[in-house]
Amino acid sequence: MSLLGRPSKYTEEFRRDAVELVRSSGRPINEVARELGLSHETLRNWVRRQDPPARPQDAAAGGGLSAADKDAEIARLRAEVAELRVEKEILRKAAAYFAREMDR
């Protein structure tokens, strides 16, 4: 039920899924809302409600990263992605090998 006491047109699960689609797709809210048959303002409000408000004191207390720290983090993550891609390829080849062995 909404704050006004009337039943909502959309289920809570639908709302969560719509917000997740906006976040994961990287597409504009207008486009996602049109695709789902919603008003863009409705979807924008759902996204805003689920995003915790930014607190300036967090950045001042060290919650924000400097440009050098961000660059170092990006480099670390890129190296990790490269390593994971290699591991994935090894596992893919091993799975193919064992699948062939099972067919014999």
CA distance 19 to 100: 43
| 83 is a domain residue | yes
- Asked if residues 33 and 39 have their Cβ atoms less than 8 Å apart, the reply is yes
| 59 is a domain residue | no
DSSP state of 104: -
pTM: 0.46
- Asked if residues 22 and 43 have their Cβ atoms less than 8 Å apart, the reply is yes
Q: Could you list the residue range(s) of the whole structural domain that residue 30 is in?
A: 1-51
Long-range contacts of 56-64 (CB under 8 A, 24+ apart): none
| 60 is a domain residue | no
What does the pLDDT read at residue 67? 85
Question: Structurally, how many domains does the chain consist of?
Answer: 2
What parts of the chain have a pLDDT lower than 70? Answer: 1-5, 52-64
